[in-house]
Amino acid sequence: MRALVVVGVLVVSGLVTAACGGSDGSAKPSDPVLAQGQQVYKDHCATCHGTKGQGGTGMKLAGKVAQTYPNIADQIKVIDNGRSSMPAWKNSLSADDITAVARYERECLGAPTCGSPTPASG
């Protein structure tokens, strides 16, 4: 009986982890724009901003980017034109890629579930 309880707990834990995107945020979002943004983030942003948006050589984004840039257009301008040591991406990424990665950073990094926008103030 005890073995069944342990197995049950492990199965439920695995399902919860999968539903929440796992510990490394690698689960693909169901929204195709967020999935596109996740790939762009992984390919171009995670090296500096961290795989979970925790920061590194670049600023922390998880749970903060919507506070820093309440208007997504302001965030997109930074991605387009760069800032400080961050390169400009407007000549390397399409406008759709930039919008997708901005949405991914706002709606997935630091959010309890991907697709739940982080509040602009808090």
Closest CA to 21 of 120, 101, 109: 109
Q: Is 21 a residue whose pLDDT tops 50? A: no
Domain that holds residue 58: 29-107
Task: Give a yes or no: residue 113 inside a domain.
Answer: no
Do 69 and 78 meet the contact criterion of CB atoms below 8 Å apart?
Answer: yes
Do 20 and 113 meet the contact criterion of CB atoms below 8 Å apart?
Answer: yes
Task: Give a yes or no: residue 65 inside a domain.
Answer: yes
pLDDT category, 22, cuts 50, 70, 90? Answer: very low
Task: Give a yes or no: residue 11 inside a domain.
Answer: no
Task: Give a yes or no: residue 88 inside a domain.
Answer: yes
Task: Give a yes or no: residue 21 inside a domain.
Answer: no
CATH code of 69's domain:
1.10.760.10
Task: Give a yes or no: residue 22 inside a domain.
Answer: no
Q: Is 96 a residue whose pLDDT tops 60? A: yes
Lowest mean pLDDT among 86-90, 99-103, 118-122: 118-122
pLDDT category, 11, cuts 50, 70, 90? Answer: very low
More confident: 35 or 115: 35
Give the chain's domain count: 1
Kindly report the pTM of this predicted structure. 0.74
pLDDT category, 118, cuts 50, 70, 90? Answer: low
The per-residue pLDDT for 116 is: 60
Task: Give a yes or no: residue 20 inside a domain.
Answer: no
Side chain identity at residue 56, one-letter code:
G
Q: If phi over 0 gives left and psi between -120 and 50 gives alpha, with beta otherwise, what is residue 29? A: beta
The per-residue pLDDT for 26 is: 62
DSSP for 64-112 reads THHHH-SSHHHHHHHHHH-BTTBPP-TTTS-HHHHHHHHHHHHHTTT-S
